[in-house]
Amino acid sequence: MTSVALGIPSVRTRPIAERRKSRQIMVGSVPVGGDAPVSVQSMTTTLTADVNATLQQIAELTASGCQIVRVAVPSQDDAEALPIIARKSQIPVIADIHFQPKYVFAAIEAGCAAVRVNPGNIKKFDDKVGEIAKAAADHGVPIRIGVNAGSLDPRLLQKYGKATPEALVESALWECSLFEEHGFRDIKISVKHNDPVVMVQAYRLLAQRCDYPLHLGVTEAGPAFQGTIKSAVAFGALLSEGIGDTIRVSLSAPPVEEVKVGAAILESLNLRERGLEIVSCPSCGRAQVDVYTLAEQVQAGLAGLKIPLRVAVMGCVVNGPGEAREADLGVASGNGKGQIFVKGEVIKTVPESQIVETLIEEALRMAEEMGVEIDLDDEDAPGPEVVVR
């Protein structure tokens, strides 16, 4: 067996584009905008007034890597639950307010890290902007102006005929201007649409016209598969132009799934350090092992390993050695055997039945050399990212 110096696993940290220069706001302890990393947020699906259920879901979201959480506040009962939720949550809580300006004041008083308002939905909101700006400024609470295609200001709907990119942007900037009149600029903006093309156009336009940090979202993106595709495509287009400071993937699925998708999008674009990444081939007629099972077993075996490690699982000797060499650790299979690579060099060849255990053994050795704590039983640990080549 050859001994190979392990070193630090290679992580591709070069981001995809220079970030748009935006002003920075603080959502509780999380900076948004400026040079802050793009953050991932989600929204609870529980009744906010059900404090225990909401805090339980926030804890699950926190464990999955969510950095900011939003809770809906449609009623007085929900508003009354905010102080305890804001105090007990480990991540900043944003109150999502529609229809009632009085809940904005309640959320600010409750210690929420930010408040989201929808200019299209809050009755007499414009008249209250002065008071809201003062309360928010006094408490250091930023406001998200969250325009949504489905609830566009009727005035703009009439002017543009539908929720065009221009209409969404005009609505957001109009609301911003009202706050600016009161000297308040602690703002972030979203202009969400369910069509990724319209959404991308709206954010591009918005990015040209202001320096506020932008919260990206495709609204009502759909069930997990469709919503993931729509969000990944739209966020990818914008983030690859440097646009976007915080993201929320909206899925008709448990919110933890939104966080996983959001984190994976950022990792794919090198906007967040990658964790454990399994690079596995899609298999084809040349495969000499069951690649799917092999990749699944390696993934399951390393699920709790929290190190930036790229592990290649390849089905044959055509592309296998090349990919395996590029990875920190890899296997190229063939003839009932697996060539095990560490840092580009073959360290041994093992029978097919020992491929999985050998890869896991080597990954643990690498983690240990890096002084990383190993807890493969940690159920909360996000699983590795799987990339199929």
176 is in an annotated binding site: no
Q: How far apart are CB 236 and ligand SF4 at their closest, in Å?
A: 24
What string of DSSP letters covers 100-111?
-HHHHHHHHHHT
In whole angstroms, what separates CA 16 from the centre of its chain? 16
Q: Which is nearer to ligand SF4, 65 or 320 (CB)?
A: 320
How many C-beta atoms surround the C-beta of residue 50 within 10 A?
15
Report the DSSP pairing between strands 385-388 and 277-280.
parallel
Q: How far is the CB of 332 from ligand SF4 (least distance, A)?
A: 8
Whether the Cβ atoms of residue 371 and residue 356 lie closer than 8 Å to each other = no
How far from 182 is each of 128, 139, 194, CA to CA, in Å? Answer: 11, 15, 32
Q: Which two tokens stand for residue 93?
A: 């809580």
Q: Residue 318 Cβ, how far from ligand SF4 at the closest point, in Å?
A: 4
Give me the least distance between CB of 129 and ligand SF4, in Å please. Answer: 58
CB nearer to ligand SF4: pick between 320 and 338: 320
Compute the least distance from the CB of residue 323 to ligand SF4, in Å.
Answer: 7
Supply φ then ψ for residue 378, to 5 degrees: -70, 105
Question: Exposed (0-12), middle (13-18) or buried (19+): which is 117, by Cβ within 10 Å?
Answer: buried
Helix (H, G, I), strand (E, B) or coil at 43: strand
Choose between 121 and 333: whose C-beta lies nearer to ligand SF4.
Answer: 333
CB of 361 to ligand SF4, least distance (A): 23
281 is an annotated ligand-binding site residue: yes
* Contact indicator for 301, 367 with CB cutoff of 8 Å: no
**Which candidate, 336, 292, 272, 362, places its Cα nearest to that of 11?**
272
Residue type, 98: H
Q: What letter represents residue 174's amino acid?
A: W
Residue nearer to ligand SF4 on the CB measure, 115 or 295: 295
Q: Which residue ranges make up the site for ligand SF4 (CB under 6 A)?
A: 281-284, 286-287, 314-316, 318-320
Ligand-binding site membership of 323 (annotated): yes
Nearer to ligand SF4 among residue 221 and residue 295 (C-beta): 295
Report the residue number, 191 or 287, with the smaller CB distance to ligand SF4.
287
The annotation places the binding site at 281, 284, 316, 323
The annotation places the binding site for [4Fe-4S] cluster at 281, 284, 316, 323
